[in-house]
Structure 1
């Protein structure tokens, strides 16, 4: 598999894990009652704790950013523009997201924005590598 597409798969798996973690934390699936909620339709979820809320927002942010990343990566792959700049941008994006998620979940506000900015620089490098 081409390196760029491997990075898309990695980001997709990271996003999926984040969505699953958010769901399990919100349902409190480590308790018997929470486990039943997690297996059910989640109609009566408890009020989100601050941790659950941050985890849900981090998961939503990952889904949003996966869309942009995957679109750029797939366009680059289809156009044959998988040069070093595009790959570097994709790697920066992925590793920034790996750092971003725990920083967001832990609630480290200013660092979170800085790490997010690094991921956006990665997307910018991908675009720059295609023009």
Structure 2
């Protein structure tokens, strides 16, 4: 199997999503200490800073959206539906998801929504390309 541009960018998306937990766990270690972070969660643990809570929510959102995007990329690859549009969509998705994470954690709502919509549009490009082949 050849690593097409679409699969390359999907790999970067997966890697980025896999690492999105790091900032909010570091915030927990800094705020609660390593021992409390590694222990079972307790109701008495102090809450994470607001930015870390948003980073955790952004990570969950990234996972939810990856569950839709990744299969479309893989199906497009399997049927040979790669095109300049799908390469651009894969690049757009990566950029949009990175931007979404950063601006969500930073608490910038309007830009967060725009980044989310760009990622959704990239997902729809793959769906469109596949459905157009029917």
How high is the TM-score relative to the length of structure 1?
0.86
Distance 1:67 1:35, change over 3 A: same
Mapping of 1:1-131 within 5 angstroms?
1-25=3-27, 27=28, 29-30=29-30, 33-38=32-37, 40-44=38-42, 45-130=45-130, 131=132
> Alignment RMSD, CA only?
1.7
Q: What is the Cα deviation at residue 18 of structure 1?
A: 0.8
Contiguous gaps of at least 5 residues in structure 2: none
- Aligned residues of 1:86 and 1:127 also touching (Cα < 8 A): no
- Aligned residues of 2:23 and 2:52 also touching (Cα < 8 A): no
Bigger relative contact order, structure 1 or 2, given CA contacts below 8 A and separation 6+? 2
Q: What is the Cα deviation at residue 75 of structure 1?
A: 0.8
Q: Which runs of 4+ in 1 moved over 4 A?
A: none
- Aligned residues of 1:85 and 1:128 also touching (Cα < 8 A): no
Contiguous gaps of at least 5 residues in structure 1: none
- Aligned residues of 1:72 and 1:126 also touching (Cα < 8 A): yes
Aligned length: 127
